[in-house]
Amino acid sequence: MSLDRATVIRIANLAKIHIDDSEIDIFTRELSQILNWVEQLNEVDVKNVKPMTGVSGMSLREREDEVLDGGYADKIVKNSKEKKKNSFSVPKVIE
């Protein structure tokens, strides 16, 4: 399926990726090309076929809900752009 410019703008907005006006046509063309190509999946009869959600069909393991480690807030904030003591300092997020 070919996408139109409005759809590309909508997806970019959902994905939180800013696209310059000059790039919209390029993305529209490239994404349409990819979607047209995957269209061939419609040739496959998947009636009564279960979707594959995991590789080995195994169910995920469970574990006790318990504290295994902790006490290293300094490491957690280590990579933050700005920090105050052991807290993340971020731009204003409530508008």
Partner 1 sequence: MGKLSDLGVEEVINGLSNKSFSAKELVQAYIDKILEDKILNAFVRVNPEKSLKNAELSDDRRKRNKVLPLDGVPIAVKDIFCTKNEETNASSKILENFVPQYESTVTRKLLESGGIIIGKTSMDEFAMGSSNETSNNGVVLNPWSKGEKKLVPGGSSGGSAAAVSARLCSAALGTDTGGSIRQPASFCGVVGLKPTYGRCSRWGIIAFASSLDQAGPIARSVRDAAIILEQISGFDTMDSTSVDKKVPNLLTACSQSIKEKTIGIPGEYQISGLSDDVRNIWKQGIEWLKSAGANIIDISLPHTPYALPAYYIVAPAEASANLARYDGIKYGFRANNITSLDDLYSKTRSEGFGAEVKRRILIGTYVLSAGYYDAYYLKAQKVRTKIVQDFNIAFEKCDAILTPTTPAGAFEIGEKSHNPVEMYLNDIFTVPASLAGLPAISLPSGLDNNKRPLGLQLIGRPFDEESILSVASVLEDSANFRSMEIEQGIVS
What binding mask, one character per residue, do residues 35-64 give for partner 1 by CB under 8 A, x or -?
Answer: x-xxxxxxxx-x--xxxxxxxx-x-xx-x-
Q: Does 85 bind partner 1 (CB under 8 A)?
A: no
Residues 6+ apart with CB under 8 A from 82: 88, 89, 90
The answer to the question of residue 67 lying near partner 1 (CB under 8 A) is: no
CB crowding 49-70: b at 16 or more within 10 Å, else e:
eeeeeeeeeeeeeeeeeeeeee
Question: Contact positions toward partner 1, by CB under 8 A?
Answer: 3, 7-8, 11-19, 27, 30-31, 33-35, 37-44, 46, 49-56, 58, 60-61, 63, 72, 75-76, 78-81, 88, 90-93, 95
